[in-house]
Structure 1
Amino acid sequence: MRPEWSELPVRHVVPDVVGALGSAGTAVLTAPPGTGKTTLVPLALAGLVPGLFSSGGRVVVAEPRRIAVRAAARRMAWLLGEKVGERVGFTIRGERQVGPRTRVEVVTTGVLLRRLQREPELDGIDVVVMDECHERHLDADTALAFLIDIREALRPDLRLLATSATTDATRWARLLGGAPVIHTEGATHAVEIVWAPPVQPVAPPHGLRVDPAFLAHVSDVVRLALARHEGDVLCFLPGVSELGRVARMLPDVQVLEVHGQASGAVQDAALSRGVGRRVILATSVAESSLTIPGVSVVVDSGLAREPRMDHARGLGSLVTVRASKASAAQRAGRAGRERDGFAYRCWSAGEHERLPEYAQPEIALEDLTDFALQAACWGDPDAGGLALLDPPPSGAMIAARDTLIALGAVHGGRVTERGRKMADIGVHPRLARALIDGANQVGVRRAAEIVALLADRLPSSASDDFVAVLRSVRRGNDSLSDRWRQETRRLTQALGSPPPGQRVGQDDQVAGLVVALAYPERVARRRGEGGFVMASGTGAVAGAGLSEAEWLAVAVADRGVGSSVARVRQGVVIDEGIARIAAAALLEEAEEIGWRRGEILARRVRRLGAIELSSVPLVDADVRPAVLDGLRQEGVALLRWTSDARAFRERLAFCHRIVGEPWPPVDDTALVDAAEQWLEPELSRVRRRSDLARIDVLAALRRLVPWSARIEDVAPERVEVPSGSKIRIDYSGERPVLAVKVQELFGWDDAPRIAGVPLTVHLLSPAGRPAAVTSDLASFWREGYQAVRAELRGRYPRHPWPENPIGATATRRTNPRRA
């Protein structure tokens, strides 16, 4: 054992950890970066550290990232003076270095999950260490929940240790059944925080966009750190694109770009002591679980990437966010692993106080389809019985279960054999489905090639033509090509040999079919007004290379913040035949009767989800639902309203307003709601919009008169005045109005009431112009008539203007001419 282990601060609490695990079976260990919790503690638990008592046994250490797995295994093997694969080994997807003497195995949480599904008893394993649990990766949360189940039901002797540099230890201790909490102080190396915000304002991140001016500022801070201090500089940036852009701003500096998709050679180079000064540009993968030798300065952009899932559309994307305080602390700690260091933060102290304490857990942000499949395979499809720090959002779980049912992975609430096979393949259930079903069509190897590429995160510079990307990785010798070849081999071995079937030959056919099998709801057809519509109903636009295609299988798409359509990032040109094969579950034929764009629609339509394939008219269909739909959309203005029909409706409205039941309401909403009552049988004869204008609305409205009433008794159309004329009553206002010439009312001292409501009388001149308005005719004759008489009799001398209108005879005629 190398003597360096004795300098690690965690050595002082190892006996406490061993004791807690021995008595309680579970424990939580919190320790700042650089204390040795990831390396020394597992070695001690395996009985490999002289002088640190432990009962020994085999230990599995689960890390959230592959780079952390490699780093932890390499560091532990170095402390033992051995090579990886002897007493310390590791397993990541597609790579395993474990030997017969291995006592400590470091694995990714994804590898651990699949192992738990296959071997829940974990025979031969004494301790499982869940490292960096604060990062709240979904696989880690799920694996820990399964391990708690195993302890309760199968292996009460299995010991569990949760470790973290920054976390809410109390919550983890409670989750582990009241586990003891052990804390150790950090290394003696101090880290000085230097606030280095931009001098000029920069735009905040939006979606994936980071202001180039801010990246230029980060590169300036890197140069400043190189000039002021000794040692290597570790610079944190949100994504691979930003790593490349900042690297191009440092052409005269030795730069390494470290990210989750970096090759093993690049990761190993970063984890080795370099020759000359280096700048290591890294994403959040370098936050924890590894020491990068030579680093004494950290430059932190303060940005991170988080997933966002649009469950309704089945589209996921990454967004740039401000890193949490916990993340900033982890990043700063990288500078003090070997000696006193400096952490430059590219934001102000005031901004720091407004940062969230912790990043959101993945379970609150991610697509939960894989999680739901893991839970179903575990026997808890709803995940309601799992010991999780945060429950899964209900909406995301509903979407996940619907997807699993569509994939045939779950039936009747239970996982199927097909679902278990999909889970064991080790990729997202959609991709597992594409591999299984695609292999029958195109062969195992070729299906594996497509799925391996779909499973990777392609660089932002990749072509939007997925086939072009496929051909490029076949020819390439970069890290993407290496990962692709390795994953293709793994998937080919995982699937084995399916039964022989039809084989599609060309790259575009193969890729199109497999991509569409993975994402059938993203099959897209070009629409007349431009762009595409996916089978899910989401609109989409594509780059110039794909925009003229009739059909697309969309491999990668995202919907920007505030955008109503998705952007196709990678797609494959296909034909309708491939679309029908891959998305067969979305094929449906139905009669479609409705109101569209102002016309009656009656047809039999074939659809692929939201994509219309063909339609034929329905000649003898009952289109009343379409007419009613049109009335709901456009209102009763679709009908032809004559003056008589409008007047009758106004009388009905008066009856409802004054009398109430049983007189029905006749406002627009009420008439639409009751259309089947008052418009039958006319509705049965309507075949097109123009037929609506031929309906006799007046006759139809009469059907609304209650059977027990006569409208003439309640709201007569006309009233007879003293002259003998029958004058129409106007019911359009709040009160009924009688408009009549003054001479026709002589001798009438009181107008009749309508349903108890006084008539408002509009007295007209002989020319029909308004002369006076009154609701009290007797009062008018006494007080108002003389003024009207004085004004009008000179203008209309041939009409009678008696001094006493009450005693005069009403007339429609003028005075006779004198001889």
Structure 2
Amino acid sequence: MAGADSRREALARLPVAEALPALHTALTERGTAVLHAPPGTGKTTLVPLSLAGLLDGSPARSVLVAEPRRMAARSAARRMAWLLGEEPGGRVGFTVRGEREVSGRTRVEVVTTGVLLQRLQRDPELPGVDVVLIDECHERHLDADAAVAFLVDVRSVLRPELRLLVASATQDGKAWAGLLAAQEDGPETPVVHGGGAGHRVEVRHRPPPRGVRPPHGMRVDPALLRHVAATVRESLESVPEGDVLCFLPGAAEIGRVARLLEEGQGLPAEVLRLHGRAPASTQDAVLRGRAPGDGGPRRVILSTSVAESSLTVPGVRAVVDAGLAREPRTDHARGLGSLTTVRVSQAGAAQRAGRAGREAPGVVFRCWAEGEDAARPRWPSPEIAVADLTGFALQAACWGAPGAGGLALLDAPPPGAMAAAGDVLAAVGAVDEAGQPTERGRRMARMGVHPRLARALLDGSARVGGELASEVVALLSEEPPREYGDDVAEALRAARRGRDAYGARWRGEARRLRAACASVGEAPAAASSPRRGGAEGVGLVVALAHPERVAAHRGDGAYLMASGTRARCADASGLHGAPWLAVATADRPAGSASARVRLAAVLDEETAREAAAALRTVRQEVRWDEGRGCVIAREVVSLGAVEVEERPLSAPGSERVRAAVLEGLREQGPGVLKWTREAESLRQRMAFLHRVLGAPWPSVSDDALLERADEWLGDATTRAEFARIDAGRVLAGLLPWAAGDAARLEELAPERVEVPSGSRVRIDYSGEQPVLAAKLQELFGWREAPRLAGGRVPLLVHLLSPAGRPAAVTADLASFWQDGYRSVRAELRGRYPKHPWPEDPADAEATRHTNRRLQGRS
């Protein structure tokens, strides 16, 4: 009786009850609705029971509830079954990957969105289902977006009577309503608001000390985690009763903060860890809760974002928010996916804070400055915009929408990500050239794993046996704990003997995969090939999943993947030195040029060639090798970017060799030729005439010389032979001999000019205007310097002091003698008294000598 009373009391406390009439009306009249209800109001538990007719006299219906996570699905089913005084498997059941509790009496079944997609692919009509509720749509998981899109199609084409309810805990209901209304071309989809926002929550900001670094990739500054642990202690002291829920970005950070809390003075509370890999017993203990005042110890629950909205953690009166979350990122150019640490969005922070006011007034401690609130992103990034879309692309193709065209999606998938996904699907044989699913692709889509892993399971079973292939794929589908190591074979042995939560999940998934592989009836792809076991078989299965990550050793722990990405093993890794690896998991730390190997299996070359056979290329290569300084001609066998074999070409062909020589010359430029001072001077003179007169004087720029290399290169094929080519002869050969202008070179652009002293002075053509630099005394009596290029360009005269330093610059000597000379004479005569400084330089005799030598001569 007490249990029944507590259940009735729990139902009466759920605020969403007041919205149920409007929700029933909306679904009856429109067929679709959007429910906006904050966390803890009962949208996940009370609404499905009401829609199924299990709480009142409303008509009996079959309701399918889709949750984003396995933990949330099990929790919701257990809570609803408890409200009915039952255990899961009666009127309320659940199905998640590897676990199913349903019966012929089940009216409400809770599934993950992944399971729902599988059912829709098998039978789009969902026979026997009257209502589908997609929960927590605000989290924008890719499977949930896809499920809504598919269900819109089902209502439009197959079952217009199927009712569809989209539930969200944040204020994004109008966007979903608009999407449904636009796709179904009917009246506006109602948005039903479900109850209040819970009790008042006081917000206290606790920014970390100065110097804490922002997150970088997966790294979180340990100083921030120490601050979070200190804030948890503060929350226990300042909030006198109830439990503390602390949000952290991942399991690693949860472990570090747990250790900090358990060190030193201890903690007057029990520390529990809640994340996707936590044992089921821990998850159940957290979700059962502890009523304040029952005499038991208070609890500190360290949780990832799983507790933001899709789970209710009872007994919480204080929330500590580290302000961080994890989002997927995909490097399509390198084929690497990873999680990255980001600031939690405003919507996420609001969700977390609301957990403190679920049952009574509470407090949230935010580990950032109040001024940072507005700078945070409004919403989390939708997975469709940032995640690997290969699985989604296969689901869409099997649904009849290759490329996701025409699907009811809030955000269109990025074209680049879809193109990359299409390439992967084609490589594993899941789609044809038109992007349509093959029969093999349809089988892969029903296996409930990433298409890469489905390929490894199907092809690997024929090569290594179904049991080993299933075990390896199960290990790859959920990355093992770090303590299992980075060697897949070692991690597999640890999972086999392990009795931890991961080992239990792994065994269940391996069994499911063996059954799934048998159910699709895949014909053996290589039945005649010998089966392999042990580490060799493990490596083969990994390589079948990721053939582009087959990697060859390049020394010092560095590897080159077939994709062209360079990768490194950890310094302490036992994989060091293996000639070949099949990389299962890798990421690229921010700012790093190489990927970091997180999980890989050892291969031999034969297995690498077998697994990556689709990437095998044979090419003939005749090219210039900069390192050797000559042409190389060879045939190369490669697995993608990894060269595995080469042999010389005996007859590469003269045209190809000539093209390679020219390529090498272009890479190095004409500077590799033999350049004397005379050759440099000739080039400058020719460049001057080309600039001033144009044709027929040729351009002698680097590009122009290379353009005409066939005319002067001769038989040179190596860098050493290039260096023996006289650049002066090359230039002389390019002079306009045919037009007869070459003979006028000395007239138009003389190399030297005779000055009044009798000296022949070299002209400098390196600048825009030719320059004659001569000592001032040698130019006495010279009223005008010669003009070049047929009188078009005056010489720019640099008049030098007796010491050879610039004294004046002029293009008009007559004006200089009349106006500028007096000031130069006044400045330099005292400094150089041995040299002549006549008052009238225009009529004076030019000389190369001092006064003494002039007197001696006289």
Deviation track 1:2-29 (CA, whole Å, cap 9, x = no partner) reads 5242332211111111111122221111
Letter in 2 for 1:549: A
- The reply to whether residue 208 of structure 1 matches residue 218 of structure 2 is yes
Q: Distance between the aligned counterparts of 2:766 and 2:212, measured in 1?
A: 63
Q: CA deviation at 1:556?
A: 1.5
Letter in 1 for 2:578: A
- The reply to whether residue 98 of structure 1 matches residue 102 of structure 2 is yes
| Pair 1:779–1:325, CA change in 2 (3 A) | closer
Query: Contact 1:624/1:684 (CA < 8 Å) preserved in 2?
Result: no
Q: Flag structure 2 segments of 5+ consecutive residues without an equivalent.
A: 182-187
- Structure 2 match to 1:639: 673
Choose which of 261, 265, 283 in structure 2 pairs with 1:267. Answer: 283
Letter in 2 for 1:588: T
Choose which of 146, 153, 158 in structure 2 pairs with 1:154. Answer: 158
- Structure 2 match to 1:606: 637
Q: Distance between the aligned counterparts of 2:83 and 2:75, measured in 1?
A: 12
Q: Distance between the aligned counterparts of 1:776 and 1:44, measured in 2?
A: 104
- The reply to whether residue 241 of structure 1 matches residue 275 of structure 2 is no
- Structure 2 match to 1:434: 456
- Structure 2 match to 1:491: 513
How do 1:161-560 and structure 2 match up within 5 A? 161-177=165-181, 178-186=188-196, 189-198=199-208, 202-227=212-237, 228-251=239-262, 253-273=269-289, 276-277=296-297, 278-412=299-433, 413-496=435-518, 498-499=523-524, 500-528=527-555, 531-543=558-570, 544=572, 545-560=574-589
- Structure 2 match to 1:616: 647
Letter in 2 for 1:547: H
Mean CA deviation greater in 247-256 or 314-323: 247-256
Q: TM-score, normalised by structure 1?
A: 0.89
Q: Distance between the aligned counterparts of 1:566 and 1:609, measured in 2?
A: 17
| Pair 1:771–1:234, CA change in 2 (3 A) | closer
Query: Contact 2:475/2:506 (CA < 8 Å) preserved in 1?
Result: yes
| Pair 1:197–1:759, CA change in 2 (3 A) | closer
Mean CA deviation greater in 193-202 or 103-112: 193-202
* DSSP 3-state at the match of 1:215: helix
Query: Contact 1:325/1:358 (CA < 8 Å) preserved in 2?
Result: yes
Task: Give the superposed CA RMSD.
Answer: 3.8
How do 1:16-95 and structure 2 match up within 5 A? 16-51=22-57, 53=58, 55-95=59-99
Q: TM-score, normalised by structure 2?
A: 0.85
- Structure 2 match to 1:655: 689
Q: CA deviation at 1:411?
A: 2.1
* DSSP 3-state at the match of 2:326: strand
Q: Distance between the aligned counterparts of 1:59 and 1:807, measured in 2?
A: 116
| Pair 1:506–1:445, CA change in 2 (3 A) | closer
Q: Distance between the aligned counterparts of 1:767 and 1:69, measured in 2?
A: 94
| Pair 1:731–1:72, CA change in 2 (3 A) | same
- Structure 1 match to 2:185: none
* DSSP 3-state at the match of 2:644: strand
Q: Distance between the aligned counterparts of 1:722 and 1:320, measured in 2?
A: 77
* DSSP 3-state at the match of 1:396: helix
Q: Distance between the aligned counterparts of 1:467 and 1:40, measured in 2?
A: 47
Query: Contact 1:721/1:744 (CA < 8 Å) preserved in 2?
Result: no
Q: Distance between the aligned counterparts of 2:24 and 2:782, measured in 1?
A: 112
Letter in 2 for 1:696: D
- The reply to whether residue 137 of structure 1 matches residue 120 of structure 2 is no
Q: Distance between the aligned counterparts of 1:328 and 1:282, measured in 2?
A: 14
Q: Distance between the aligned counterparts of 2:846 and 2:211, measured in 1?
A: 92
Mean CA deviation greater in 446-455 or 141-150: 141-150
Query: Contact 1:133/1:162 (CA < 8 Å) preserved in 2?
Result: yes
Deviation track 1:52-82 (CA, whole Å, cap 9, x = no partner) reads x4x4422111111111101111111122222
- Structure 1 match to 2:607: 578
Q: CA deviation at 1:224?
A: 4.0
Deviation track 1:468-489 (CA, whole Å, cap 9, x = no partner) reads 1110010011111111111111
Q: Distance between the aligned counterparts of 2:308 and 2:674, measured in 1?
A: 73
The aligned length equals 808
Deviation track 1:659-717 (CA, whole Å, cap 9, x = no partner) reads 2355443333x33xx5142x215446222110111223233334544555624436344
Query: Contact 2:43/2:167 (CA < 8 Å) preserved in 1?
Result: yes
Identity %: 57
Q: CA deviation at 1:331?
A: 2.1
Q: Distance between the aligned counterparts of 2:38 and 2:564, measured in 1?
A: 49
* DSSP 3-state at the match of 2:483: coil
Q: Distance between the aligned counterparts of 2:145 and 2:857, measured in 1?
A: 112
* DSSP 3-state at the match of 2:339: strand
Q: CA deviation at 1:154?
A: 2.2
Q: CA deviation at 1:505?
A: 3.5
* DSSP 3-state at the match of 2:575: coil
Q: CA deviation at 1:188?
A: 5.5
Q: Flag structure 1 segments of 5+ consecutive residues without an equivalent.
A: none
Mean CA deviation greater in 521-530 or 159-168: 521-530
Q: Distance between the aligned counterparts of 1:249 and 1:175, measured in 2?
A: 47
Q: Distance between the aligned counterparts of 1:192 and 1:749, measured in 2?
A: 94
- The reply to whether residue 758 of structure 1 matches residue 777 of structure 2 is no
- The reply to whether residue 119 of structure 1 matches residue 123 of structure 2 is yes
* DSSP 3-state at the match of 2:406: coil
Query: Contact 1:169/1:181 (CA < 8 Å) preserved in 2?
Result: yes
| Pair 1:484–1:809, CA change in 2 (3 A) | closer
Q: CA deviation at 1:287?
A: 1.6
Query: Contact 2:666/2:706 (CA < 8 Å) preserved in 1?
Result: no
Q: Distance between the aligned counterparts of 2:170 and 2:819, measured in 1?
A: 94
Letter in 2 for 1:343: V
* DSSP 3-state at the match of 1:567: strand
| Pair 1:680–1:14, CA change in 2 (3 A) | same
Q: CA deviation at 1:312?
A: 1.1
- Structure 1 match to 2:184: none
